[in-house]
Structure 1
Amino acid sequence: MSTLSLAAGRPTLADRLISRSILTDVMLVAGGAALTGLLAQVTVPLWPVPITGQTLAVLLVGSTLGALRGVLSMVLYAVLGVVGVPWFSDASAGLHVVAGPTGGYIIGFILAAGLTGWLAQRSRDRKVLGAFVSFMAGTGVTFAIGLPWLAASLGLTFEQTLQSGLYPFLVGGVIKALLAAGIIPLAWKLTARK
């Protein structure tokens, strides 16, 4: 007998820990959004885009929940932030945040969680190197959406966009990917069934 669930495809880390059901899926999606909102408050202020813990949360949520639940979690994060939950960076909220310079990164989180979740469902997150490559790909997707949005929003040249929206975040992006690549494979090892 199968249980109805939003989790399609191969099991992820969340499925190892919790049985699949609609109720647990809803709780996991909400928890992923909340984790992202919480880590968004861990910030190093820069203009026009601050360095935050959001991207680390996106990588962890996507990998742990899988593609569909990861995407839904980031959509929930974005929608609730637009309607007033103050959990974007610096406890900001509202449509103006998503319509502003950082909005492309928030939209990019949705695709990044989907990609890292899809890769996790193909067991790419179980060893450190595979997890690191997966998380760097997710980080790359965030930049691929965020940078053009930033440039259009502020009327920046290509070089200005790279200087304000990419270069300051490269080292942090690699560190976050390494951190996530240490956490997720370790969690898989700790939850291995005997």
Structure 2
Amino acid sequence: MTAIAIPRKRVLADYVPAVVGVPAWVGTRVRDVLLIAAGAGFIGLLAQWSIPLPGTPVPLTLGTFAVLLTGASLGGVRGLLSVGTYLVAGGLGVNWFANHKDGWGGATFGYVIGFVLAGALVGWLAQRGGDRTVLRTAITMVLGNLVIYSVGVSWLMNSTGMDLRAGLAAGMTPFLIGDAIKIAAAAGLLPAAWSLVKRVDKH
């Protein structure tokens, strides 16, 4: 069976040591599985910080922020698998979607699908230096948010019968200020984390 090759030290997760006491390739795979599971748990945890908003079924949540940080930290493959684990586990009954919800479908499920695509995209960009500077990180996070909105708003419109104007008003406009704050936070956190790990790696 051909293993998926994950570039070394191209994202922050590559600096996490492999599990010791086993063959190197096994230790690396175990480390990756643990990172994928931890990323899914991180998203599920932050998604519980959720505030219902009037006039829309879409809550204000930190889930988006967690997805983008997870994707950037893990890279494209692990980011895809981590957010995919969050989606599948939630669909099968783990109540870690926003507002402690679970299951397939619903007006907001498109955002969870968008999470998976955004996690993979942001991770792919991070592997190419998209999280190394403030400007690059901001651009990476904006692109990830656009993917989430594209899928989430389209699903919302299809589920509720809203037209484009109503869909944007319910599924995107109320969250733009919050997303700008989250992007600014990520643009500070990720380059700072890179600065720290590079400093430690030199010693």
TM-score (norm 1): 0.93
Partner of 2:21: none
Residue pairs, 1:1-194, within 5 angstroms: 6=4, 8-9=6-7, 11-19=10-18, 21-46=28-53, 47-95=56-104, 99-192=105-198, 193-194=201-202
Larger radius of gyration: 2
* Alignment size in residue pairs: 188
Q: What stretches of structure 1 move > 6 A for 4+ residues in a row?
A: none
**Cα distance between partner residues in 2 of 1:70 and 1:104:** 18
Q: CA deviation at 1:5?
A: 6.8
Q: CA deviation at 1:181?
A: 1.3
**Cα distance between partner residues in 1 of 2:88 and 2:5:** 21
Structure 2, unmatched stretches of 5+, are: 19-26
Structure 1, unmatched stretches of 5+, are: none
**Cα distance between partner residues in 2 of 1:48 and 1:58:** 20
Residues 14-37 of structure 1: CA distance to partner in whole angstroms, max 9, x if unpaired? 102334711011100000100000
- Counterpart of 2:114, as a letter, is G
Q: CA deviation at 1:174?
A: 1.3
Residues 90-120 of structure 1: CA distance to partner in whole angstroms, max 9, x if unpaired? 111112xxx1111110000011011110010
**Cα distance between partner residues in 2 of 1:181 and 1:7:** 28
- Counterpart of 1:51, as a letter, is L
**Cα distance between partner residues in 2 of 1:68 and 1:24:** 14
**Cα distance between partner residues in 2 of 1:117 and 1:176:** 17
